[in-house]
């Protein structure tokens, strides 16, 4: 296999693994929300259960970097896929709140291992001129999987085992495909301990990443809040406000479809005008869109339009935030940047369903959209407060106008 063909195969496997991970998350959030609602679980507890996956991500985050430096990307990727596949198989065995919460913890651990390996592997092996494109393809793959996920809930009509087994088999398929990959190591492995940054304590390196990349981390936090709240709270809101399960299954993928339309163009646009200016634009529009959703929440067609337009703007926020973080950090700190991006995403994903559930319980149901809008505004103001890094591409006159 030539170097070029091996690089292409590696990208296909990594993108495919990310797609399956997106499908798992896209299926679990609405499917388990509906099943727990059938068991008369409160909205707040329903949101807490959805947070289990992201708690698992947080638990795994501090322990991934060292094994990846020692063993390389490939073993971490394969272990992550294996944990996810096995955990998915166990969901239908026992319909119990805490059992499902524990399984979501394991899926969060496996998902974090897989994503961390794939993200860093793609970034460090992509040519500089193609990095934005490849990261956008990564985000596109996750979006496609997330769009497919809710539709797998319909397999529930064939039996509770079917939706979980389909995604589990997808994980096993790319586990087998990963066996053919040649392993690689962060910073080419052996020379990494000689880097100056390695002389810092681990805590100092984390502090340095936060100091340099906090504005990019706010974008991944906001996207995690949006994604988990929309997919974890909207099914509960929809059922309580007269939407059918089929209508909910149609509406949720519309947001992701919007993101698929613009994912790669947004990545290219960020290369041209600068990631900071792009994040300012999309988060502001996202906030306006979800505020509008509060007033249009009783109309299926109106919500579909809001979800589509919002997806087109903020659906690429995670991949844009990831690339922005890579602009702000030296390569030696990129693995920790990816860890903290996953941590901030997880915090957002944990808070989203829980806060949304509280809003549904104590306020008019549609107010959970206000929580999403608030997360968008947090990212907007954090990015606004960050001066443009010299490592970012020089902006056009359009960018200068956006510097506010």
Pair 240, 40: CB distance under 8 Å: no
pLDDT tens, residue by residue, 121-149: 887 887 766 777 788 888 888 878 877 88
Question: Domain 3-189+199-402 maps to which CATH number in 1.20.1250.20, 3.30.70.1230, 3.40.50.300, 2.40.30.20?
Answer: 1.20.1250.20
Instruction: Note the pLDDT of residue 128.
Output: 67
308 Cβ contact list (under 8 Å, min separation 6): 254, 255, 257, 258
In a 3-state reduction of DSSP, which class is residue 186? Answer: helix
Which residue is it, tokens 């809003």?
A: 359
Residue 167 has pLDDT above 90, yes or no: yes
138-167: b (≥16 Cβ within 10 Å) or e:
bbbbbbbbbbbbbbbbebbeeeeeebbbeb
Residue 73 has pLDDT above 80, yes or no: yes
Counting other chains too, the contacts that 127-134 makes at CB distance below 8 Å and 24 or more residues apart are 131/323, 131/326, 132/267, 132/268, 132/270, 132/271, 132/323, 133/264, 133/267, 133/268, 134/11
Q: How far apart are CA 25 and CA 228, in angstroms?
A: 9
Pair 332, 212: CB distance under 8 Å: no
Helix axes 202-240, 43-50, angle to 10 degrees: 140
Average pLDDT over residues 303-308: 92
DSSP 52-71: HHHHHHHHHGGGTHHHHHHH
Bigger pLDDT: 34 vs 302: 302
Sketch the domain layout of the chain as residue ranges. 3-189+199-402
Torsion 97-354-119-269 (CA) sign: positive
Average pLDDT over residues 213-218: 91
DSSP 295-329: HTTT-HHHHHHHHHHHHHHHTTHHHHHHHHHHHHS
Instruction: Note the pLDDT of residue 360.
Output: 81
Pair 177, 13: CB distance under 8 Å: yes
Pair 13, 199: CB distance under 8 Å: no
DSSP 19-30: HHHHHHHHHHHH
Instruction: Note the pLDDT of residue 127.
Output: 74
Residue 365 banded pLDDT, cuts 50, 70, 90:
low
Residue 72 has pLDDT above 50, yes or no: yes
Residue 400 banded pLDDT, cuts 50, 70, 90:
very low
Q: How far apart are CA 336 and CA 338, in angstroms?
A: 5
Range with the largest mean pLDDT of 4-13, 224-233, 245-254, 288-297: 288-297
pLDDT tens, residue by residue, 102-122: 999 999 999 989 988 998 888
- Residue 4 CB-density burial (10 A; 0-12 exposed, 13-18 middle, 19+ buried): exposed
Give backbone dihedrals phi and psi of 148, rounded to 5 degrees, phi first.
-70, -35
């Amino acid at each position: 296999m030539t170097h070029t063909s091996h690089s292409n195969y590696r990208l296909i496997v990594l993108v495919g693994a990310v797609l399956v991970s997106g499908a798992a998350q896209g299926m679990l959030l609405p499917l388990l929300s509906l099943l727990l609602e059938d068991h008369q679980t409160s909205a707040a507890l329903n949101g807490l259960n959805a947070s289990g996956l992201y708690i698992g991500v947080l638990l795994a985050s501090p322990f991934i970097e060292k094994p990846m430096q020692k063993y390389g990307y490939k073993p971490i990727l394969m272990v992550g896929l294996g944990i996810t596949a096995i955990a998915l198989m166990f969901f239908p065995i026992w319909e119990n709140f805490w059992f499902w919460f524990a399984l979501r913890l394991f899926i969060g651990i496996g998902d974090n291992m897989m994503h961390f390996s794939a993200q860093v592997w793609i970034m460090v092996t992509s040519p500089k001129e193609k990095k934005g494109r490849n990261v956008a393809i990564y985000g596109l793959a996750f979006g496609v999987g997330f769009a497919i996920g809710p539709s797998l809930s319909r397999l529930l009509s064939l039996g509770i085992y079917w939706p979980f087994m389909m995604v589990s088999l997808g994980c096993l398929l790319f586990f087998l495909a990963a066996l053919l990959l040649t392993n690689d190591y962060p910073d080419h492995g052996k020379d990494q301990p000689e880097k100056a940054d390695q002389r810092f304590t681990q805590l100092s390196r984390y502090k340095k990443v936060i100091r340099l990349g906090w504005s990019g981390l706010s974008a991944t936090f906001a996207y995690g809040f949006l994604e988990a709240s929309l997919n974890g709270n909207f099914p509960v809101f929809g059922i309580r406000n007269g939407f059918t399960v089929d209508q909910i299954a149609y509406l949720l993928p519309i947001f992701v479809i919007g993101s698929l339309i613009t994912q790669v163009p947004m990545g290219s646009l960020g290369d041209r005008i600068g990631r900071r200016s792009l994040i300012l634009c999309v988060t502001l529009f996202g906030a306006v869109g979800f505020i509008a959703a509060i007033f249009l929440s009783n109309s299926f067609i109106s919500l579909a339009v809001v979800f589509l337009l919002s997806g087109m703007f903020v659906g690429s926020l995670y991949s844009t935030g990831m690339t922005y973080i890579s602009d702000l950090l030296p390569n030696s700190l990129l693995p920790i940047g990816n860890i903290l991006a996953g941590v901030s995403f997880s915090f957002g994903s944990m808070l989203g369903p829980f806060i949304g559930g509280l809003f549904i319980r104590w306020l008019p149901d549609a107010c959970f959209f206000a929580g999403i809008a608030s997360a968008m505004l947090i990212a907007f103001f954090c990015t606004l407060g960050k001066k443009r890094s010299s490592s970012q591409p020089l902006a056009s006159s359009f960018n200068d106008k956006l510097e506010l």
